[in-house]
Every structure is written in structure tokens, then in C-alpha cells.
């Protein structure tokens, strides 16, 4: 039996077609509110209830309540930076697939990386997600180290996360030493038979190696890891339960839930053999999935990208989602170009709003835009982060740190949203319950007004 994902147990639970009672659902919701996670049996109840329309709205509402207990009103914003579209794998859903003759390949030089990161910095981003296809030359550990170092040395970007192929223990230790934040490896699909079908050739075809990649990362000291399944390659119900199983494995073995769970749906890519999802994931399903991830893995950042359309992204911000990208380009070098080049992109994006437009929307919706990076830099990572969030202590930091980064954004980057942002800051200062912390926050806000930057708790 696989100790990371128990496929037999998942299939057994999925084959149980019994309709849960509303009492069953409410019992699971109350359990989730204790912030200790959910079992696969609990997740099965939520899936079946959602499919039958039982307490659907209540599930979404509970997910948002759990999110706000953990992190308050803050919504973290970030952007991906693609390093290379060179890849030695043949993934049938990806624009970077090795045998894709229609894609325009590109690998950024050091100077181009600095230029791209500089564009994102000027927009107001403090955190970037470095993404790379798998290539011994174009995305080697040396290349990634050089890239991370260049971003830190030549821009004011404060944290770089990395989404890259599985690495050896030695290389993971080097990655840790480079100062990255989260290390992501998505399984894509946890259904092994489907995995073999959609990964036609290349090292990524090794299902077990990829599944064990984050255990190795944790052992190398990278205690903030990110997981996810590409929804639409197989039955989403199986994938959701497998993601929760993977998260539970990491928690039990390392005392830390995954730092992030990404929720991507399959989108078309130029030259990709799979242009539409083999398994449908409706917008309604998507909202339920986001909510279940929040309830089952309460401390994780539930992340939604610009794969999704504008209206749906706005909706899921009220379903437990806590992190969202903005203004994204999925082609290497894309930020310094006027138009998005789909023939060079990993996939098609559907929400083209800028960072400021997203800040404005989040603020108007009653939530709090955040560009904070403090946890990675003060040691609130891995087990420490998990423990702090699960004991309802993290929101104490999230609110003031969000206000401080929003103040920076307002002064340095905001155009039409400046008055709105100032009003949001003023309103939320009074929501800091601890008087000492509130006074310290007011002092730091004044310091930022006078020119200081990168202040945090």
C-alpha cells in the first residue's frame, strides 16, 4: 500500500454512493472549525453532499470562516516568473512539451531575469514564483541558483518561490541555501494509470519519484512545500481526496501541512494534444474543491491562478481561497512584451487584470490585499507556521503586515486606487485588537510615510 496516497481507500470511498444527511455534513463542518484537518471519510461526505446539493452554501461559508480564523481578511498576491520553456518531458497537456513543434522556446539570461523581475517589482510585487520546464541545461540547479541570486541582488523582490522538477537531496539543500521560500512540485494527477498516459516520456514519467519529491525536500530543510493536482485530467473527486491524503502524510511525518495547495484547472496550450479536459470540472465543482481544501487542510494557502476567469476568481475569494496571482504571463520574457504570446506560453490565461486592479477589487470586496513576505524571513515556516495557524495566532501578524505592505503599495505603485487603499488602511487599524501591536503598527505606517520600507512583524 502506498503510504502517501491510498488509492484503494479513495476508490472504496468514492464507490460509496450513499447520500449524507445534513447532520453528517454539519458534523464535518464543526470538526473542520477546530483547525485539526479532516479525514478522507470526512472529505468523502463533503464531496457527496456537494454533488447532491446538500448544505452546499454552508460548506462554502464554513470554508471562508475557517480561512478568516486562520489568516483574517488578507488575500496574498503574487506573480509567476517563467525562466525557461525548454523541457525534456512529453506531457500531453503542456505547451512546453518536448515534442511540441508549435511552441516558441525561450530561456532567460541573467540580464533578462533581472529585467523581468524588475518589471514585476515596478508593478508592486514583493513575491515571485519562479517556474521552469525540466531541462538539464536550462533549469539546472546552477541555473536556478544564479537566477534566484540575481533577483535578490538586483531587485527589491523579497521572496522567490520555486516550481521546478524533483531534485536530489544535495541539490535541494543547495536550493534551501539560496534563500527560496516555498518549493512546489505538483503531482498533476494522482491517478497512476492516468499519470502514465499523459506523461508519454521523460523523467517526469516516474510517478513514484514525483510523489516522493516533497518528502525529500522536507528532509533537505525546505519545510514550506506546495502541492496540487491539475484538475480535469482525471475525476476531480479522486484528485481532491488524493491531495488531502498527500497533505495528511506530510503533516503526520513532518508536523507541517503543505504551505500551499494550488487549484489549477486544465487550460488549452498551443500544440498540446490535450486541448480540453478529459474530465469535466464545472465552476460549481471548482468552488466546492477550493472550500474542501480549506476545510481539510486549514493552514495551507489555497492558491488560484489566472487560469480561471475573472468572475470565478472573484467568487472563490469568498470560498476559502487565500492566495491569488495577478497580471500573469506564462511565457518566459512575457512581462517585457506588450502582448501575450500564446505560442510561447505554458497555457492560456483568462484573467488579465493588473496587480492594481486586483488590489482594488479585493479592497472593494471587504477583504485586505496583502503583499507580505514576513513569515519566510523570520522563521515562521514549516511546523512553526502550522502550529501558529492551527492555534489561531497567525491572523495577529497577518493584519498589521498586510497594512504595512498595502501602505508601501499605495505610496509607490497605486494610481487610481490610492484613496481606496488609504481608506482601507485607516479602517483596518482599529481592527488590531492588541493595543501595543496597534500602536507599533501606526508607528511603522508613519515610518513608511517618511520613506522607510520593508517593515514587518
* Rounded Cα gap, residues 240 and 190, in angstroms: 9
Please tell me the predicted confidence (pLDDT) of residue 344: 62
Work out the percent of the chain whose per-residue pLDDT is above 70.
Answer: 98
Confidence of residue 1 (pLDDT cuts 50, 70, 90): low
Q: Is the pLDDT of residue 451 over 60?
A: yes
Mean pLDDT for the stretch of residues 74-96: 96
Phi-psi region of 202 (alpha: psi -120 to 50; beta: other; left: phi over 0): left
Residue 342: per-residue pLDDT: 55
pLDDT, tens digit, 9 for 90 and up, residues 16-57? 988 999 999 999 999 999 999 999 999 999 999 988 888 999
The pLDDT of residue 341 is 61
Query: What per-residue confidence (pLDDT) applies to 242?
Result: 98
Q: What is the pLDDT of residues 206-241, one digit of tens each?
A: 999 999 999 999 999 999 999 999 999 999 999 999
How does the average pLDDT of the chain come out, rounded? 96
pLDDT value of position 104? 86
What integer pLDDT is reported at residue 50 of this predicted model? 87
Task: Supply 213's cell numbers.
Answer: 519529491
Q: Which CATH code of 3.10.20.30, 3.20.20.70, 3.40.47.10, 3.40.50.150 fits the domain covering 68-370?
A: 3.20.20.70
For the chain, domain boundaries:
68-370, 391-449
Task: Determine contact, residues 4/210, Cβ cutoff 8 Å.
Answer: no
Amino acid at each position: 500500500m502506498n503510504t502517501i496516497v491510498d488509492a484503494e481507500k479513495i476508490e472504496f470511498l468514492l464507490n460509496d454512493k450513499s447520500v449524507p444527511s445534513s447532520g453528517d455534513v454539519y458534523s464535518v463542518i464543526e470538526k473542520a472549525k477546530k483547525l485539526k484537518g479532516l479525514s478522507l471519510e470526512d472529505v468523502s461526505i463533503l464531496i457527496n453532499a456537494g454533488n447532491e446539493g446538500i448544505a452546499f452554501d454552508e460548506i462554502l461559508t464554513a470554508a471562508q470562516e475557517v480561512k478568516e480564523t486562520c489568516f483574517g481578511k488578507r488575500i496574498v498576491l503574487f506573480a509567476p516568473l517563467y525562466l525557461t520553456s525548454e523541457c525534456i518531458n512529453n506531457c500531453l497537456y503542456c505547451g512546453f512539451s518536448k515534442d511540441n513543434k508549435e511552441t516558441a522556446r525561450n530561456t532567460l539570461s541573467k540580464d533578462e531575469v533581472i529585467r523581468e523581475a524588475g518589471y514585476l517589482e515596478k508593478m508592486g510585487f514583493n513575491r515571485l514564483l519562479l517556474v521552469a520546464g525540466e531541462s538539464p541545461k536550462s533549469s539546472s540547479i546552477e541555473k536556478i541558483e544564479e537566477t534566484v541570486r540575481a533577483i535578490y541582488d538586483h531587485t527589491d523582490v523579497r521572496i522567490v518561490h520555486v516550481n521546478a522538477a524533483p531534485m536530489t537531496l544535495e541539490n535541494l539543500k543547495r536550493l534551501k541555501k539560496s534563500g527560496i521560500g516555498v518549493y512546489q512540485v505538483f503531482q498533476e494527477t494522482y491517478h497512476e494509470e492516468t499519470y502514465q498516459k499523459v506523461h508519454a516520456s521523460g523523467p517526469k514519467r516516474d510517478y513514484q519519484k514525483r510523489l516522493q519529491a516533497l518528502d525529500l525536500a522536507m528532509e533537505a530543510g525546505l519545510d514550506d512545500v506546495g502541492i496540487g493536482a491539475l484538475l480535469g485530467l482525471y475525476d476531480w473527486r479522486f484528485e481532491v481526496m488524493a491531495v488531502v491524503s498527500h497533505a495528511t502524510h506530510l503533516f503526520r511525518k513532518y508536523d507541517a501541512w503543505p504551505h500551499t495547495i494550488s487549484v489549477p484547472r486544465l487550460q488549452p496550450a498551443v500544440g498540446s494534444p490535450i486541448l480540453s479536459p478529459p474530465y469535466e470540472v464545472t465552476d460549481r465543482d471548482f468552488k466546492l474543491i477550493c472550500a474542501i481544501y480549506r476545510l481539510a487542510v486549514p493552514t495551507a494557502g489555497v492558491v488560484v491562478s489566472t487560469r480561471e476567469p475573472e468572475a470565478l476568481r472573484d467568487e472563490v475569494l469568498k470560498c476559502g481561497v487565500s492566495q491569488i496571482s495577478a497580471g500573469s504571463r506564462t511565457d518566459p520574457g512575457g512581462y517585457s512584451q506588450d502582448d501575450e504570446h500564446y505560442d510561447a506560453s505554458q497555457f492560456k490565461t483568462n484573467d488579465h487584470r493588473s496587480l492594481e486592479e486586483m488590489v482594488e477589487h479585493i479592497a472593494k470586496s471587504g477583504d485586505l490585499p496583502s503583499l507580505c513576505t514576513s513569515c519566510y524571513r523570520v522563521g515562521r515556516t514549516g511546523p512553526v507556521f502550522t502550529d501558529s495557524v492551527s492555534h489561531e495566532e497567525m491572523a495577529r501578524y497577518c493584519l498589521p503586515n498586510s497594512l504595512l505592505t498595502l501602505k508601501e503599495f499605495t505610496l509607490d505603485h497605486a494610481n487610481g486606487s490610492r484613496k481606496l487603499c488609504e481608506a482601507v488602511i485607516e479602517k483596518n487599524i482599529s481592527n488590531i485588537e492588541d493595543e501595543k501591536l496597534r500602536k507599533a503598527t501606526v508607528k511603522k505606517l508613519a515610518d513608511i510615510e517618511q520613506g522607510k520600507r520593508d517593515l514587518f512583524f
